[in-house]
Amino acid sequence: MNKCVISLLVSLMMFPAIAGAQSLSGILGATDPALAAAARLALQNKSFVPQVSAPVKSVKDAAGPADYLPLQRGGVYTYEYYSSAFKGTRTMRLEFGAFSYRDNSVTVTRTIFDRNTRQESVFKLYYTQSGIQATSSPLAGPRLEMPSAVTYNLAWDEGANHSRVAAVKASIKTASGNFNGVRILTSLDGGGTINRYYAPGIGLVAEQLLTSGKYETINLVSYQLN
C-alpha cells in the first residue's frame, strides 16, 4: 500500500479529534483526489491494520546476571585486600576456571598473598533460576551473588540477611579505574552491612564489609578475561 495512504489512515485513527471537527468525507474531500480515492478503497478493506513498531527494550530491561558476572569468559581478578584483622594490605586473587555446561557452574580459586605466604580456598558459582548462586564469596560466605533480573530495588532474603539492588548506575573508584554499575546492599543478621559493586562485562570490582567488630574491603587492581 502507498506510504502516503497509510500515513493518512493512521492519522485518522490516531487523532479522532480531527474527525470530530468535520466529517470523514469532508476530510477526504480536502485531500488530493488520487490519495483520497485510494484511502476510500483502503477503508473498505476491513483487514487493514496499521503496522506499529514494537518499543525497543532498554539496557535496564535486558540486564541479567551474566551482564554483570560473565562466568563463561573465565579470567583472573586481582584485588587490594584490607582487613581490620591484620596490619597493612594484602593481595587477593580470584581465578575463574573453565565453565562447565554439565551443571552450569564455574570453579573459583581464591588466593590471599601475604609477603611469602599464601592461602588458597575454592568455591563454585552456579547459574540457577534465582540467578548466580555462590557456595562462598570473597568476604562473606555463601550467597546469591547476582539475581536473575537486575532491576532497581529488587530485594530478597537469605536466612536473616536481607539484600537488595540499591543502584543500577552506581559509581565506584578503584585502583584499576572508575566504574559505573550495580550496587548490591546486604543488611546482615546481628547488624552490619555489605556493599558490593559489579561493572557490566567485567564482574565484581569492589566489596566492603562492615560490622561492629570487623571491617574488610577489596578493590580491583587488575583483571584479565579469557
Question: Which CATH number characterizes residue 185's domain?
Answer: 2.40.360.20
Q: Do both 29 and 74 map to the same domain? A: no
Same domain, 85 and 193: yes
Same domain? For 85 and 186 the reply is yes
pLDDT confidence of residue 197: 98
Return d(Cα 8, Cα 21) in angstroms, integer.
16
134 and 71 share a domain?
Answer: yes
Q: Domain range spanning residue 20?
A: 3-44
pTM of the model: 0.72
Please check whether residues 114 and 210 belong to one and the same domain.
Answer: yes
Q: Count of CB atoms within 10 A of residue 75's CB?
A: 15
| Structural domain contains residue 57 | no
Classify residue 50: in a domain, yes or no: no
Q: Residue 11: its pLDDT value, please?
A: 45
Q: Does one domain contain both 83 and 147? A: yes
Strand order across the beta sheet in which 89-96 lies: 143-147, 131-134, 117-128, 105-114, 89-96, 75-83, 215-224, 203-210, 193-199, 177-187, 161-174, 155-158
Please check whether residue 10 lies inside any domain of the structure: yes
151 located within any domain: yes
Given a contact cutoff of 8 angstroms between Cβ atoms, the answer to whether 184 and 170 are in contact is no
Answer whether residue 86 is part of any domain: yes
Q: Are residues 93 and 203 in the same domain?
A: yes
What is the C-alpha to C-alpha distance for residues 112 and 93, in angstroms, rounded to an integer? Answer: 6
Residue 52 belongs to some domain of the structure = no
Domain count for the chain: 2
Surface-to-core class of residue 211, CB atoms within 10 Å of its CB (0-12 exposed, 13-18 middle, 19+ buried):
middle
Computed on alpha carbons and rounded to an integer, the radius of gyration of the chain in Å comes to 28
Q: Which pLDDT score is estimated for 34?
A: 52
**Predicted pLDDT at 64:** 86
Q: What is the mean pLDDT of each run of 10 residues along the chain (226 residues)?
A: 45 41 51 53 43 35 79 92 95 96 96 93 96 96 95 96 96 94 96 96 96 95 94
Pairwise CA distance, residues 170 & 178, whole Å: 11
Residues 180 and 119 both lie in one domain: yes
Q: Is residue 137 part of a domain?
A: yes
Whether residue 55 is contained in a domain is answered as no
Q: C-alpha grid cell for residue 158?
A: 537469605
Same domain flag for 96 and 160: yes
Q: Does residue 88 sit in the same domain as residue 138?
A: yes
In angstroms, the CA 206 to CA 138 distance is 10
Instruction: Give the model's pLDDT for residue 48.
Output: 37
Q: Which three cell numbers stand for residue 77?
A: 581478578
